[in-house]
Amino acid sequence: MNISVQSGNSKISKISSLQLQKFATILVFLAPALVLFTVFLIYPIAQSAYYSLFLILVFSVVEVKADGRGRNK
């Protein structure tokens, strides 16, 4: 089985069933690695970037005045 893509009268590429099978095999082995990479590296980096947009005080109480300024107690 050959799949060909045509642009005008010239053929751009032919993909054989063997090439599709090789691509599927590569994808099957690569998918779990990409999931683990995303879960343990990309997600924590994105989460840290998101949390950096907020002021989080863990062990402090902040008193906010009417004009919006706050001070630690």
pLDDT tier for residue 60 given thresholds of 50, 70 and 90: confident
Q: How far lies 10's CA from each of 13, 19, 20, in Å?
A: 9, 21, 22
The answer on pLDDT for 24 being more than 90 is yes
Q: How far apart are CA 16 and CA 27, in angstroms?
A: 17
Identify each DSSP E strand in 19-65 by its residue range: 62-64
What is the reported pLDDT for 38? 94
What is the reported pLDDT for 61? 66
How far is the first Cα of the chain from the last one, in angstroms, to the nearest whole number? 74
> Mean per-residue pLDDT for 21-42?
95
